[in-house]
Copies of this chain bind each other. A is one copy, B any other.
């Protein structure tokens, strides 16, 4: 169905008709000039927003719309967890070009709803409009936290331990794999088209003969790229273990860049150990295959949506006992600078070469 048949109000009604709100603090969701929320007594409100543009942040030739919706929500929830908060509501603004059908937007929305359900989040509003080219998604997430629990970027202190959840570089390697297979496929299409024209045979049939790419052994990397998970579980485990988080950030632009944010805002230095950076087996193998340094991928790859945080030295035993958290270094005096200790014991100054859309590569 073409979107013009429903119109803007029709589309919003259509997409939000099944939306029942589940948070007590959601007094009014979609359907008025504003959503109305009732903050719990004694909590503060967290707000974060992210914009995803087609052709910059995602490529629909390999990214299914459902995954895209899921990911678009997750990257926002990740920011709420990175403050040690609980996400409660999101608003969703979409700008949609004419090539999308109502069914496409339903797919996108179904992924968003899945992510929301998983994290007990309500979709409370948004805006739907048309775009001259491509798809634009802007999501704002709202969360809550008690004042004493909020983890800012500026609380790291000398001797604090630097911790990381999960493993790093996998989403980046997933992107490399997808981009490679896309290039291979495009090449095959060009060749098949040329050949079919030469033989006077059917071009579409020739293209249909091209085998689908084989992603065996790369499944984990693709999942990390296409379906990231905000680390609610880590936040919960840290709460259960009663660990005081002194600073925290989520890793969206690469470990190196995020650690530099913490050090700059906390006015401190750091030492991290290359050998302690958590890596998945598939990441390591694929980096080798691409002739890339796996540590560089982990340091600068981006889109991990893992948590980077610091805890007092005294919490060493507590955090070390938590599955999927790794201590990778420690905070120093600012004059000692920010450095990576390589496997062979050399010191390298950390640089933020993060996943920056605004600078030329």
Contacts and interface: CB of A to CB of B under 8 A. Distances in A.
A56 B132 contact: yes
Interface magnitude class on chain A: 35 or more
A8 interface: yes
Contacts of A49: 91, 93, 125-127, 138, 140
A51 B356 CA distance: 23
Contacts of A91: 47-49, 140
Nearest to A28: B152
A123 to B, nearest CB: 11
A89 interface: yes
B47 A131 contact: no
A45 to B, nearest CB: 4
Contacts of A32: 83, 152-154, 249, 265
B33 A129 contact: no
Contacts of A37: 44-47
Contacts of A22: none
A163 to B, nearest CB: 16
Given A46-B36, A138-B93, A54 B132 contact: yes
A208 interface: no
A341 interface: no
B53 A357 contact: no
B358 A36 contact: no
Interface string A37-70: 1110100111111110111110000000000000
Number of copies: 2
Nearest to A54: B132
Contact of A51 (B41, B57, B95, B154): B95
B124 A47 contact: yes
A157 B68 CA distance: 43
A258 to B, nearest CB: 10
B48 A125 contact: yes
Which of A94, A124, A249, A359 neighbours the largest number of chain B CB atoms within 10 Å of its CB?
A: A359
Interface in A115-145: 124-134, 136, 138, 140, 142-143
A142 B6 CA distance: 29
A79 B140 contact: no
Contacts of A7: 356, 358-359
Interface of A: 3-4, 6-11, 27-28, 31-39, 41, 44-51, 53-57, 79-80, 82-83, 85, 89, 91, 93-95, 124-134, 136, 138, 140, 142-143, 147, 150, 152-154, 248-250, 265, 356-360
16 contacts: A8-B359, A10-B358, A32-B153, A33-B250, A34-B47, A34-B82, A34-B83, A35-B46, A37-B45, A39-B45, A49-B140, A51-B138, A53-B95, A93-B138, A95-B136, A132-B134
